[in-house]
Structure 1
Amino acid sequence: MKKILILGILAFVVSSCSDFIEEDNLANADAETFYTTSEGFNALVNANYSQLREIYGGDAYVFCAGTDLYAVGSGRGSEPEGLSQYSQLNSSSVGVDQLYESCYAAIQKANIALHYSAITAQTDELSTLIGEVKYMRANAYFLLVQTYGGVGIVTDYIDSPTLYFDRNSAEEVYALILTDLGEALSMVNDQPFSGRVTKRAVQHLLAKVHLTRAYETFADANDFANAASYAEDAIAGQSLSIPFADLWFPGNEMNAETIFSVQYDESSISVDPTELGNKQANYFGPYLGGSEFAGDAGWKSYTLLATDFALELFTQEDERYEATFMTEAYMRYFDAFEVDDTSGLEVRHYYAPQWATQADIDAYAVSHPEAQIRLWGTYAAGVVSGDYETIPTKKFDDPTVQFVDDARVSSRDIVLSRLADTYLIAAEAYLQTNPALGLQKLNAVRERAGLTTPLAAYDIDVLLDERARELFGEYHRWFDLKRTGKLVERASLHNYLIDAANFNGANGELKILRPIPQAALDLNQNKDFPQNPAYN
């Protein structure tokens, strides 16, 4: 396997980690001495956890843009056109290199740790730490193969630049991912999640990998069955018992249903509070005010706003609607989180839901004469241009931070794997193997949301709708649509900026995979390295 240097991935910072990750530059340390100690090897492993912040902590477009659920607000905000509309998508488009750079940096850090694992101090925890690293390398490769298809496999520690590399097939990349995860499963702790990789996290990812590969031409005949089996292992009989609103109340990210997340807290970002946090709270909502509202309204990008389709998916009985969206925006926005009784607060904006009758709206106007009432059909992406004119997503709001324009300031964890997602993974896998059992999993998710009338049957579209309601704003949607072959259909049907023709690429191919970044191709001295065919 070729050694790869891509876009400066040799830059390496190790860190210390407890319940959070805190940067600690050890660039001047004698690596050969330090990393062979227990302390040094732990620093290498913690650097792998820190790199998760770089994969997930920046812009959310690569995970969410260009789908059926999110679009930029009309006249405000600026999403990268390639990722959000496809017609301008090419190898130099803004954002196409985000995962390529951050995931290969993660792979390099994992390979360094695995190299030193053979020569470091042999401790009781060493095997567990190796398993954690293998999980994170597998996760990075999984993001790469879903996004770009086959990529160059590197499993060696790189200590000098190598600019010649080959491209492996997607089938080979999946094989490596499953090997890493299989080894990790036998190594990591079988403990409740406390910030580090556990068996349940590995099982959840194994289920997702098998499920995703099951749709590929090179799928194993047992992929759907294996996906369901690993999902059941990760569920481990646990029911969905936490109210949905409680799952997402700020500070409650480490609840019993969280399987794995990227860890943050205020102290870990205090050294550089505009760069060490994350930007998840920046997206999925309208502009909420400038510096004049500092401390009163969190900055939002006016991009990745909920489409009409996303909002229409919810019914009045669905508790997830009120827990996901800020249906009443108060004069001081964050009072929604900081005041137990909001009944006496002045309302700045009210977003009437689709089930509100004219009588309901009239009554609300009488009881809240100060409120700007925004009627159903007037506050989704594509029909608004002013501040507060579209409904804010409150699910990721962080009331502990001050207003900072377009910065990584949130110290809330980014949840990557949680129990309801595992239920839905199982339901999708069972759709092909045991639909009756899959329906039980799907209805369990709906029942927790307050939808007490169970579904009698389901198909992939019903399942994708349920994933939209349950996982709105979480970093899954582009991958969900790409995996199930629904990206072109759903994005062109429900996103006002996208026509099906936008996906037409070179050689009669559709722009489903993202292009290999041009900078990586330019660095590669192997000029036979192929670009994805839609971009030739």
Structure 2
Amino acid sequence: MKKTIILLGLFAALFTSCNDYIEEESLSNVPADATYKTVSGFKLLVNSNYASLKNIYGGAPWLFCAGTDMYAEGRNAEPAGLSQYIQLIPDSQFVEQLYQSCYQTIQSVNKTIYYSTLTEQNTDVPLLVGEAKFIRAQAYFLLVQTYGGVPIVDEHITSSVLSFNRNTAEEVYNHIIKDLEESLVAVGTTSYTSSGKINKRAVNDLLAKVYLTRGYETFGKSTDFATAAAYADAAIAGQALNLPFADLFKISISPNANNDLNAEVLFSIQYDLSSTSTSPTSLGNNQFYYFGPYLGGAETNGAPLRSYTLCPTAYALGLYEKGDTRWAATFMTEIYEYKRPSDGKIVLYVPYYDKSISPTDVNLKVRHFYEPKWFTAADKIAYEASIRKSSNYKYHAWGTYDPSSPDKANDCGTIPVKKFDDPTPTTPITTGNVSTRDIMVARLAETYLIAAEAYLKAGDPTTGLARLNEVRRRAGVANATAGQFNIDYILDERGRELLGEYTRWFDLKRTGTLIVRASMYNYTIKSAANFDGKNGEKKILRPIPQLALDLNQNKNFPQNPAY
């Protein structure tokens, strides 16, 4: 049944886009209805669907990452409700963020589908509608995982609807799968690297995630895990993980080298530095900003602003073993200082990326070093003998730089995550907490891990282990054994591979491990009792935002039971 809804600014205008493939032209003085009925105008409408995803992913990632086993607050406080659960209520800070932005995206897609029958017809129209339905499915998938059943809105709304009903989670999953199956038939096969557009591999990847997640639900079908495995393999399409892990996130400032659209990216939220000139402090995204410590500030040393909130926990840091290439590629294990010959000013952070500075330059020194857990006393002696130390040099011993340690109050007190760094000279150093790096939503290594989990749950652990070990092979570590291979090991491997990427809360919620793991590894969550809600229910789903309930004239719309 079709449902209609007006929520939290549902009637979103066309969103400004940033990459070439979603560039919009001025439509001033041209009626929208007439514009969308043209070939070029309809493509602009589809572009707005892509651009709307920036509202979902570009801001604070609390609903993706907070309150998990992997991240906890350092010097600055996270939103208490989302990070610690005991204070989580329907009007808690940021609870409505995902709800609002997902429905804005859904309405943007609904408009596209509406005009697809009215616009000038050509062979591109079905393909573009397929892309739009993928984006709508992505938004609904985020909603149903986060809030459970939500209203299904699949028509273009042109006037206010003040009363709406709530669909079941099972109905939402069926709607998502229908959209994706139709998308899979329609979209093309051009590589994402060259087109930046949704293709069949991206759709297969999302179908794998949807079936895997539904398989854990009480209404899941007995075939869901096997179906998820098949879709994951279709998304993998025989492609091995051949890029070095560090190359997935490679960037430097001299020369500038951005590898965001590499051969292993299946889908991402794309940004472009040149398109942010009109509002450089708002048109980028915040991913780099949240994962690491304050480094002293741009006002003193050129370091970017960081929030000091979603810092990797001791558990997250302890996942890595000697030889795992992901350790050095994920974390800035050294923070350099450089005394600029031109003015004698000492700067931090940027020298790490500036390849024009020779490693032998006497002005380049190590200010901070974060010891890995496998270091011995001899390793420390050898390391310190090999470097030029700053006069302010600090050696952070293992166990002293996670967010639960006393040193978290100091600048550089926790280890910085560098995967998402954006050292481009104008962003973020002079413009605040924004970046124009792309946000990777789906990449090949995660698809291998989705396949590993799906095969395990489908009763084929041998194939599942092989998929997981492809990820470990690329990381340079020994294969996992059959005796190790279980859901906890998969979650550990996902932690190593995907640290800082926007999956962790969904991983724990899907696998039923959120309460155990968050209360075990997150120092701010004192016990499993933090999750106790009303009616004897646990706070697994987030509450339906209070504002959504207040705007709804249907007062029989149910809140999630724990609230």
TM-score, normalised to structure 1, is 0.96
Q: Which amino acid aligns with 1:387?
A: D
CA RMSD of aligned residues (A): 1.6
Q: What are the Cα deviations for residues 475-500 of structure 1, in whole angstroms up to 9, with x where unaligned?
A: 00000000000000000000000121
Q: Secondary structure at the match of 2:409?
A: coil
Aligned mate of 2:513, from 463, 480, 486:
486
Residue 534 (structure 1) aligns with: 562
1:427 aligns to 2:452 (yes or no): yes
Cα offset for 1:358?
Answer: 1.7
Q: 1:418 to 1:534 in 2, by over 3 A?
A: same
Count, aligned residues:
531
Distance (Å, rounded) in 1 between the aligned partners of 2:359 and 2:162:
59
Residue 244 (structure 1) aligns with: 245
Residue 177 (structure 1) aligns with: 176
Range with greater deviation from structure 2 (445-454 or 309-318): 445-454
Cα offset for 1:122?
Answer: 0.3
Distance (Å, rounded) in 2 between the aligned partners of 1:125 and 1:16:
20
Cα offset for 1:317?
Answer: 1.1
Q: Secondary structure at the match of 1:338?
A: coil
Residue 437 (structure 1) aligns with: 463
1:258 aligns to 2:283 (yes or no): no
Residue 415 (structure 2) aligns with: 391
Distance (Å, rounded) in 1 between the aligned partners of 2:295 and 2:249:
20
Q: 1:18 to 1:327 in 2, by over 3 A?
A: closer
Distance (Å, rounded) in 2 between the aligned partners of 1:306 and 1:368:
28
Question: Following superposition, which runs of at least 4 residues in structure 1 exceed 6 angstroms of deviation?
Answer: none
Q: Which amino acid aligns with 1:94?
A: Q
Asked if structure 2 preserves the Cα contact closer than 8 Å seen for 1:20 and 1:263, the reply is: no
Q: What are the Cα deviations for residues 160-215 of structure 1, in whole angstroms up to 9, with x where unaligned?
A: 11110000000000000000000000000111003110100000000000000000
Cα offset for 1:249?
Answer: 0.8
Q: How does 1:95-114 map to 2 (within 5 A)?
A: 95-114=94-113
Q: What are the Cα deviations for residues 136-155 of structure 1, in whole angstroms up to 9, with x where unaligned?
A: 00000000000000000110
Q: Which amino acid aligns with 1:410?
A: S
Distance (Å, rounded) in 2 between the aligned partners of 1:17 and 1:58:
16
Q: Which amino acid aligns with 1:316?
A: K
Q: Which amino acid aligns with 2:419?
A: K
1:376 aligns to 2:404 (yes or no): no
Aligned mate of 2:537, from 502, 506, 509:
509
Cα offset for 1:403?
Answer: 2.6
Range with greater deviation from structure 2 (348-357 or 364-373): 364-373
Cα offset for 1:336?
Answer: 2.0
1:470 aligns to 2:471 (yes or no): no
Asked if structure 2 preserves the Cα contact closer than 8 Å seen for 1:329 and 1:350, the reply is: yes
Cα offset for 1:288?
Answer: 1.2
Aligned mate of 2:443, from 418, 423, 443:
418
Q: Secondary structure at the match of 1:212?
A: helix
Cα offset for 1:22?
Answer: 4.6
Q: 1:58 to 1:14 in 2, by over 3 A?
A: closer
1:356 aligns to 2:375 (yes or no): yes
Which ranges of structure 2 fall in alignment gaps of 5 or more residues? 252-257, 338-347
Which ranges of structure 1 fall in alignment gaps of 5 or more residues? none
Q: 1:16 to 1:288 in 2, by over 3 A?
A: closer
Residue 5 (structure 1) aligns with: 6
Cα offset for 1:17?
Answer: 6.6
Aligned mate of 1:292, from 294, 299, 303:
299
Cα offset for 1:21?
Answer: 4.2
Residue 32 (structure 1) aligns with: 33
Cα offset for 1:26?
Answer: 4.2
Distance (Å, rounded) in 2 between the aligned partners of 1:212 and 1:25:
41
Distance (Å, rounded) in 1 between the aligned partners of 2:327 and 2:127:
40
Q: Which amino acid aligns with 1:86?
A: Y
Q: How does 1:312-327 map to 2 (within 5 A)?
A: 312-327=318-333
Q: Secondary structure at the match of 1:534?
A: coil
Q: Secondary structure at the match of 1:533?
A: coil
Asked if structure 2 preserves the Cα contact closer than 8 Å seen for 1:14 and 1:25, the reply is: no
Report sequence identity in percent: 56
Q: 1:24 to 1:532 in 2, by over 3 A?
A: farther
Asked if structure 2 preserves the Cα contact closer than 8 Å seen for 1:111 and 1:156, the reply is: yes
Residue 141 (structure 2) aligns with: 142
Q: Secondary structure at the match of 1:66?
A: coil
Q: Which amino acid aligns with 1:470?
A: E
Range with greater deviation from structure 2 (394-403 or 100-109): 394-403
1:90 aligns to 2:80 (yes or no): no
Residue 481 (structure 2) aligns with: 455
Distance (Å, rounded) in 2 between the aligned partners of 1:25 and 1:528:
44
